[in-house]
């Protein structure tokens, strides 16, 4: 069942999203060459808990950490690791979920460590734009396929990258993962119609090479690109409203001005 949120519930999710956005902003000063990915976990968990919120990923289906920290060819669900030291040029994805008094928000952001290569810069730019192209389709009356279609066309047809199929966006609230499923590929005009009050995530994962993932890691969580190529991800939580898509996890009020109201 899909839960349609009231304006009051969306406002509560926005408060949760502000904490998550603040955590990501803080990570800009933390992520640098020479730190371990465990330091990202420590900072993030402390930030969330110090704002009287819950790091909701802890305990989800047995997951033990506040964050997923995935590096370079790791697509998603990487454990934060004390022995994984970040190097100049690495591409790091940090994903987490915040629960503030029952209001959930979910956001992943990508960070270049030190001085990124042109290859990393382009991948980040394409993935970031792909997310916003998808968000722009999140208006009342459009269909789920409209979101995935525009992302897939931009990622694969216009840029020649791989648009990951195995992991997708989703509804959020009253729990972390709700219906509807939100693939980042598909056919325009197909799928569930978007309605006012839906709250969903748009979170494309883009690989420089193949779209296919290797999920054979024995921990049962980590997914890597099947060909060892770099992978990038950005994710926002948003609400479907009469005014258009409302981003609830914005880190940049100026850039996101048209999505904030």
Residue 235 labelled as part of a binding site: yes
Residue 214 labelled as part of a binding site: no
d(CA 89, CA 118) in angstroms, rounded, equals 10
Residue 170 labelled as part of a binding site: yes
Residue 106 labelled as part of a binding site: yes
Bridge partners, residue 94, by sequence: 69, 109
Residue 236 labelled as part of a binding site: no
On the question of a cis peptide bond just before residue 124, with omega within 30 degrees of 0, the verdict is: no
Residue 178 labelled as part of a binding site: no
Query: CA 172, 178, 180: angle at the middle one, nearest 5?
Result: 100
Secondary structure of the chain as H, E, C letters: CCCCCCHHHHHHHHHHHHHHHHHHHHHHHHCCCCCEHHHHHHHHHHHHHHCCCEECCCCHHHCCCCEEEEECCEEECCCCCCCCECCCCCEEEEEEEEEECCEEEEEEEEEECCCCCHHHHHHHHHHHHHHHHHHHCCCCCCEHHHHHHHHHHHHHHHCCCEECCCCCEEECCCCCCEEEEECCCCCCCCCCECCCCCEEEECCEEECCCCCEECCCCCCCCEEECCCCCEEECCEEEEEECCEEEECCCCCCCCCHHHCC
The answer for residues whose C-beta is within 8 angstroms of residue 39's C-beta and 6 or more apart is 30
Task: Give binding residues for a divalent metal cation as ranges.
Answer: 95, 106, 170, 203, 235
Task: Give binding residues as ranges.
Answer: 77, 95, 106, 170, 177, 203, 235
Task: Give binding residues for substrate as ranges.
Answer: 77, 177
């Amino acid at each position: 069942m899909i839960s349609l949120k009231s304006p009051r519930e969306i406002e509560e999710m926005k408060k949760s999203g502000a904490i998550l956005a603040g955590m990501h902003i803080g990570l800009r000063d933390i992520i640098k060459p020479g730190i371990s990915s465990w330091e990202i976990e420590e900072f993030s968990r402390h930030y969330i808990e110090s704002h009287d919120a819950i790091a909701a990923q802890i305990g989800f289906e047995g997951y033990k950490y506040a964050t997923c920290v995935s590096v370079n060819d790791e697509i998603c669900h990487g454990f934060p690791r004390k022995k994984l030291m970040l190097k100049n040029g690495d591409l790091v994805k940090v994903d987490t979920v915040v629960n503030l008094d029952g209001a959930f928000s979910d956001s992943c952001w990508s960070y270049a460590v030190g001085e990124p290569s042109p290859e990393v810069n382009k991948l980040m730019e394409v993935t970031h734009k792909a997310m916003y192209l998808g968000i722009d389709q999140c208006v009342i009356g459009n269909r789920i396929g409209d979101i995935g279609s525009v992302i897939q066309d931009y990622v694969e047809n216009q840029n020649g990258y791989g648009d990951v199929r195995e992991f997708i966006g989703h509804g959020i609230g009253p729990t972390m993962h709700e219906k509807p499923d939100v693939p980042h590929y598909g056919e325009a005009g197909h799928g569930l119609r978007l309605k006012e009050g839906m709250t969903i995530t748009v979170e494309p994962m883009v690989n420089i090479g193949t779209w296919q993932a290797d999920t054979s890691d024995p921990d049962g969580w980590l997914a890597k690109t099947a060909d060892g190529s770099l992978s990038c991800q950005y994710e926002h939580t948003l609400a479907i409203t009469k005014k258009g898509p409302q981003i609830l996890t914005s880190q940049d009020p100026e850039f996101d001005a048209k999505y904030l109201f």
